Amino acid sequence: MEKVHLINHILIDHKIAILRDENTKCKQFREVVEEIAMLETLEVLKDAPTKTISVKTPLEIVEQKVIMENSIVIVPILRAGLGMVNGVTAMLPSVKVGHIGIARNEETLEPIEYMCKLPKNIENKMVIVLDPMLATGGSACAAIQALKDRGVTNIKMLNILGVPEGIKKVTETHPDVDIYIAKIDRCLNEKGYILPGLGDAGDRIFGTK
């Protein structure tokens, strides 16, 4: 389990309660997904590629560690992962953004990839896959495999809610991938929804139901 990083903070818990509430409207839901992603970014970047630069303060020159420029790419899984993009880019404004479109077949729950558009030279970058929900783990595994097929070796998953079976599937299929997640819920229902969960994240972010 050392590849699973539970981001445990009362401020994130507080915001997850807002997401869980069935009365939370689309605008607030979207804003809070962004805010949680922004807070989670602090944790996932603990492993970011760094370099040391010299900075001249008004008093002295100091050696200062910074994030290596052009070393990180984020890849939201469409649609719901899009809701996390602005939260991450608020912290990392110049990060490049790839997109992977994956939808679950509503009956079989199997992931279907319908688009993939990634920045050039992605294979040398630390790639952070964004998706608020890790349910069966099928979409996450498909996205990670799509990146590996294109030569990416440094992959991190950033989720908000997951369940043990989805986490197990990802860690068994891709033991090299770190998962950063804010909350691990109880289980899936017969339709593949996380319990207690927050419902369909894509529909709640985009107001499609």
Min. distance of Cβ 25 from ligand PRP in angstroms?
18
Which one of the listed residues 20, 79, 89, 203 is annotated catalytic?
Answer: 203
Does the N-terminal peptide bond of residue 79 adopt cis geometry, omega within 30 degrees of 0?
A: yes
Q: Which does 77 bind (CB under 5 to 8 A by kind): ligand URA, ligand PRP, none?
A: ligand PRP
User: How many whole angstroms separate alpha carbon 128 and alpha carbon 58?
Assistant: 36
Tell me if residue 108 is catalytic.
yes
DSSP notation for 79-117:
TTTHHHHHHHHHHSTT-EE-EEEEEE-TTT--EEEEEEE
| H helix intervals, the chain | 10-20, 26-44, 82-91, 138-149, 164-173, 201-206
Q: Binding to ligand URA by residue 201, rule CB under 6 A? A: yes
Using the rule CB under 6 A, give the single segment among 56-64, 117-125, 126-134, 177-185 that binds ligand PRP: 126-134
Tell me if residue 200 is catalytic.
yes
- Give the residue with the Cβ less far from ligand URA, 146 or 201: 201
Which residues belong to the active site?
A: 104, 108, 200, 203
Q: List interacting residues with ligand URA (CB under 6 A).
A: 80, 133, 135, 192-194, 197, 200-202
